[in-house]
Structure 1
């Protein structure tokens, strides 16, 4: 097994200067002299289609789905009661920098980072459906500012970060969508393919939830199922004739949005959660939006690059930042959880690599690599943090699924096994 090189959570030096040029639209465009534009493309794994229904149904249905991030059971399960039109809670990170934390939904939304500049607004990530993005737009106007949204950043191609793009096209003002070239390519190919597959997946999820409601003797569980069904039916209707809006401005390595209030540095630091993850760094406010490459849930490696991911985070952590605005889970006031997640991915990947060399099956590794056995989960209370996030407000109607953290680790083991040595 390769040696583990766990990082501490201390601050790191500033990024090294990079060559800056001007792109065709007149924005400052930074090239880090990597080979991002000529990297070989490999279609991400399809293990994610198994997870949505497994977890959305509380483990009662072994199915498959394109809606891959919903395998994080904590996201949907906390909404036991009826919802209102407010889908996000806005938290201030620094002057002009806000964290839009997504409330629980049957079909999840990602968080968003909101940067209020001198004359306009930049929003990072666009949720799972246009109505969710429209809801955030209305909330920004009610609670933050009347300034128009000028730019939207898709941190990566996944459906719950990009399917709301369309709402920004309907604002009546000019809005441009930014992403890496890899993300746009994956959106135009794999995202569209998965979106077409999702109709059957939602139908299966609805059938399973209706069966769960019918078989339950608990009034609370029946009410919970009814609300989940209502939300899924609304999602199904909204996306019936949906067309995905693709990014307008793309780049390989870096892109800079300058403003008198503060600058935003959009940077690709290497493969991690997907092939094209972008980080949005605001150096003057010491804040960084990380998408799903670093967040407050158990990481999802279904489309990931487990061997490259820790090094990518090492690159990110050279920047000067304090606040971490992740794609899911709570806002982080420091680097502790980012460091914990990085160390967990590195440790588990090393163990799976060794197990695969020794001829162990995925099932054997899932029995061997437990919460208690992983040093990275015990460090800095990371396992306790993840367990708390998973359990907050979680309606438990039975003890059938009493090891959610281990279940997620088992999913990570499977995905790492499948994605080792991805080109």
Structure 2
């Protein structure tokens, strides 16, 4: 009788990845095998508090019971038809997502980058069909230090050289202006402008929160200029900032909103473009599509996510616990933290460079049972699941204080 294969250790699994996986990420040296709520466990059984939540893809924690139940139920019925046929889950998902976001129509896709690419296509089509921009002349204004994904078109308007270098030639038609600068934005908009595409909070840049009035200013400027306001809420949306959408902090309604990450509940990739009928209605059959976009499994999970958000519970939790997070980080300013920015349960924390890089601080936290991730320089991002308890959050802040005191 053959003996069962020995389970491989974290070190063995990490070494096994190196020759066969393309090096598109630089993960921390932890190998997760199980997860529940705000906690994960590695292959050796060590537990960690997840303070990253899959870059907001796990807003509802790992394996939320309502989402797992919805997935299991749908797995036993139907998973995919392609959009060549209708399925019995898609209409309800689209109706409820449109209602939740205050929009008219939904274009279902899979990944966040696909939602951005779809938003770009829709904005250009609208510019030609509705605004009357001459063919192939449409421009889109974006912000410096943006992060909208890593497809060829998207990195064409990135200002991150790591994302751009070696991947040209780049797609034309984009103008980059400083973030949080209405005067620069106004100067860049002209009769060829199809849309202004921005993140209401810049996540990858270090959770950069714009000045009060900036989002309302973008809305007013685009309205006056006769172009679209496209808000990328892939990280900031669906409860993360204490509202369903981050634009709600200024009571702003964009023409198109890009959603992803948390929309799939950490189970399947689900994204969507939601928007006004006058804008999304420009698409005709055959002009855009996706084999998996709007599949029954994704729609069932997405509907369960919308149901969780319809109660308002997670938005309230993010707002209330966001106050705890802000209070804890304020106490650390001058004690290893040189500054931070936060909105809801989301923060970019700038650590004194003398104490280490963001990567080194993240590794230090990992050794103490906290999972976070660095961004540029000595900045780390904190974005725990919205299901985290106040006690767990305070414990993580205490660990951070200890890591900075080393």
Rg (Cα) greater in structure: 2
TM over 0.5: no
**Short-chain TM bin:** 0.3 to 0.5
Q: TM-score, normalised by structure 2?
A: 0.34
Q: Which has the bigger relative contact order, CA under 8 A and spacing at least 6? A: 2
Q: TM-score, normalised by structure 1?
A: 0.33
